[in-house]
């Protein structure tokens, strides 16, 4: 009987130890999922903030470039204007057309 009782006590102890181990594994899994979720959230928020900053920066650059349109418009040679006769004049007209296109100027 003593062997049976000691075996029963040992089995109960092993059962309690197994239950404790299972609870510890669940706790570690929960913590792992929480930390992983936090990292994913941080990455997603960083990507969204970066996208917004880049978009805002592009809009600011385009707005600042459009401020130059009146000046660039003065340098653009129109078909009704006399064409430049010097190499320098043609170069300035060509660059002005390029800037007008790049800055998306509209007939200013």
Distance CA 10, CA 1 (A): 14
The first and second tokens of residue 105, run together, are 């100027």
Where do the domains of the chain lie? 1-63, 67-108
User: DSSP letter at 86?
Assistant: S
| Coil, helix or strand at residue 53 | helix
Using the structure block, give the residue that is written with the tokens 């181990």: 21
For the question of whether the overall pTM of this predicted structure is more than 0.75, the answer is: no
Tens digit of pLDDT for each residue in 36-65? 999 999 999 999 999 999 999 998 988 888
- Quickly list H helices, the chain: 2-66, 69-75, 87-102
Tens digit of pLDDT for each residue in 18-32? 888 999 999 999 999
CA 23 to chain centre: 39
């Amino acid at each position: 009987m003593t062997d049976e009782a000691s075996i029963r006590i040992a089995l109960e102890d092993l059962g309690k130890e197994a239950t404790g181990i299972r609870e510890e594994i669940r706790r570690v899994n929960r913590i792992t999922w929480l930390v992983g979720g936090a990292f994913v959230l941080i990455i997603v928020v960083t990507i969204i903030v970066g996208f917004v900053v880049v978009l805002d920066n592009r809009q600011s650059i385009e707005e600042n470039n459009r401020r130059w349109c009146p000046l660039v418009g003065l340098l653009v040679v129109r078909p009704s204007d006399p064409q430049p006769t010097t190499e320098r004049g043609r170069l300035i007209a060509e660059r002005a057309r390029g800037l007008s296109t790049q800055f998306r100027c509209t007939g200013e």
